[in-house]
Structure 1
Amino acid sequence: MTSSKIYDCLIVGGGIAGLQAAIQLGRYSVHQVLVIDAGYGRSTLCRQYHNLLGFPEGVSGEELRSRGRRQAESYGVEFILARVTSAVKLEGRFQVSTSSGDKYTAKTLLLATGVLDRFPEVPGMIPTLGLSVYVCPDCDGYEIQGRKTVLMGAGRPGAEMALLLAERTRELTYINHERSDVAPQLLQQMAERGIRYEEGEIAEVQQSEGDIRSVMLKDGRSFAAERGFIAFGGNEVHSGLAAQLGATLSGNRHVETDPRTKQTSVPGVWAAGDLGLHAEQVSVAMGEGSIAAIWIHKALRPCYNQLNGGDAEDDS
């Protein structure tokens, strides 16, 4: 099915950046906005964010998404649960297709498709994410302060993460799940920092209501833990749609954007959140979503920009 409706903005991705952009655009009260969300991503996996203003007790990604969707819908933003498989530019418009064959068209496009962390399908892992097992040292290094911590990872990415985390705790074990090569200098640095290094395939993360208790290896060894981290490298950057449209990608496949506007190298296409080159934090994704939405509004309402001298320094 091809929708005959032409939206002002189509947002691909209903995570934190996409939702914040949808709220901002909805509050202008003049735009037809559609969010197409696959329903799965980093924020759906995180059981608790601890570093957000106003949530000292923590808040889950699912709760943030639920609140954000209701808020956006109250401003008239439409939502569809689907996976976008392709995007093209046609006669000054952007058309996306979903896995079911449906097509949607818009004047502008915001890509907020994010990144998905790579980790093995180990029993007990997912229930701990964000509660006692973490992925970002900037976001959650605080949570392991002085705690017995097991880092589950692979090769160099795991070793480099271990050296960062050693600033937070003296009780740190790095388990190289894939037995990937680790450079001798990294092994030496870990030894000098008192980091225990082990190799072995992880069989299970033993946990109770999201609190990690130990990490079991397939060879029978067990490592007690109060906290955990993962660092396997090779995270999946969902930049395929941007590449289809011809947007410039960095060497690590994140999408390059104008630092001021968040517009990509393709006029009419913006990118926000973990898809872009930035510190991968929820608060940053929110800010980028808002910035992108403000500039999308300017593109859609040129008279607004002209009234403000064509500059956005003080007009938001």
Structure 2
Amino acid sequence: MGGNLFDVIIIGGSYAGLSAAMALGRSLRNVLIIDGGKPCNAQTPYSHNFLTQDGKTPKEISNEATSQVKKYSSVEFYDGLAIKLLKTDSGFEVETQSGQRFKSKKLIIATGIKDIKPDISGFDECWGISVLHCPYCHGYEVKNEKTGIIGDGDFAFEFSKMISHWTKDLTLFTNGKSTLLEDQIKRLKEKNIYLDENEISSIEHINGKVENIIFKNGNQHPVKAIYAKVPFEQNLNISGDLGIEIAESGHIKTDAFYKTNVYGAYACGDSSSMMRSVANAVGSGNFAGAMVNKELIEEEF
């Protein structure tokens, strides 16, 4: 480490954080990236819908990005977890799990989010492989396949409407008594989307590739892909440590320039956006890095 004081500390060294670091490295800023090395898409086999990188593994993209960012000598990396963030008179202080402390004028939070998976055996093993969150990321690869959606209520109705564009062989599994409105059920039936209210026991799979949904009554339903939206939480106690505002959706609230309500603190990537994709993370990180540099220039001029 070149020292414990930086222009910018970036918490999170995945796509958004690396993109922000590149923008700042090219802006001659002293940057520290703190990353624990546990990306949320670690078991996702391929990344899609990202121009020039379509079909590469998440790890391939991340490794190439890291290699490119390391060419900028003013960017440093710290392998570890940030556990506490403090606002100081001159900027910010970050404490790591090992007890080290680093200071910076500005802070970028690019920590992503932590998925909270349901208590369904096999769900976790299939998550990101054949249990999917986004048709734009993975829908093409399972187009026209026998597909399921796990969900209920208004969300499930709207999600069924969307996924029916990629496949006509679609079943909505509410995992218990449905809360859908009569008009919604009627509309699904008209579109040949089957509704199954049986409670789910497990997902039968081979190496993360789903084969059947197994129900508590002993029945089963064959599928090749499942879509699900799971709840999530922030990876850091952002609001508690810094008083950063969290939106109703659970994401960090930012303005159009990725500024949070705390002066000097920015957020980008999955932690602050409902558009959960590699391309969006890279774009938001690039913009956030440029905005942080602009703020520093304004203060220094």
Normalised by the length of structure 2, the TM-score is 0.86
Of 203, 218, 221, the residue aligned with 1:220 is 218
Aligned to 1:285: 281
One-letter amino acid matched to 2:166: R
Of 43, 67, 71, the residue aligned with 1:70 is 67
Secondary structure of 1:31 counterpart: coil
Aligned to 2:91: 93
Secondary structure of 1:42 counterpart: coil
Of 145, 148, 164, the residue aligned with 2:146 is 148
CA contact (8 A) 2:232 2:250 kept: no
Aligned counterparts, 1:25-174, within 5 A: 25-28=24-27, 30-56=28-54, 58-76=55-73, 77-120=75-118, 122-174=120-172
CA contact (8 A) 1:157 1:231 kept: no
**Cα distance between partner residues in 1 of 2:18 and 2:177:** 39
CA contact (8 A) 1:152 1:229 kept: yes
**Cα distance between partner residues in 2 of 1:46 and 1:54:** 18
One-letter amino acid matched to 1:294: A
Aligned to 1:265: 261
**Cα distance between partner residues in 1 of 2:180 and 2:115:** 20
C-alpha deviation, 1:278, in angstroms: 4.9
CA contact (8 A) 2:245 2:252 kept: yes
**Cα distance between partner residues in 2 of 1:72 and 1:179:** 51
Of 195, 198, 202, the residue aligned with 1:197 is 195
C-alpha deviation, 1:302, in angstroms: 4.2
Aligned to 1:208: 206
Structure 1: stretches of 5+ with no match in the other structure: 307-316
- Structure 1 pair 215/236, CA: closer, same or farther in 2 (3 Å)? same
Normalised by the length of structure 1, the TM-score is 0.82
Q: CA deviation digits over 1:187-210, x for unaligned, max 9?
A: 333233222222344344333354
CA contact (8 A) 1:6 1:104 kept: yes
C-alpha deviation, 1:114, in angstroms: 1.8
Q: CA deviation digits over 1:286-310, x for unaligned, max 9?
A: 011011111222233449x96xxxx
Backbone CA RMSD of aligned residues: 2.8
Q: CA deviation digits over 1:155-188, x for unaligned, max 9?
A: 5533432232123222111222365744444333
Q: Percent identity?
A: 29
**Cα distance between partner residues in 2 of 1:51 and 1:270:** 26
2:16 maps to 1:17: yes
Secondary structure of 1:151 counterpart: strand
CA contact (8 A) 1:8 1:31 kept: yes
One-letter amino acid matched to 2:229: A
Aligned to 1:297: 293
C-alpha deviation, 1:61, in angstroms: 2.1
**Cα distance between partner residues in 2 of 1:155 and 1:7:** 48
Relative contact order: is structure 1 or structure 2 higher (C-alpha 8 Å, sep ≥ 6)?
A: 2
Structure 2: stretches of 5+ with no match in the other structure: none
- Structure 1 pair 152/171, CA: closer, same or farther in 2 (3 Å)? same
C-alpha deviation, 1:239, in angstroms: 6.5
Q: CA deviation digits over 1:190-236, x for unaligned, max 9?
A: 2332222223443443333543322223432221112221124x232
**Cα distance between partner residues in 2 of 1:237 and 1:182:** 29
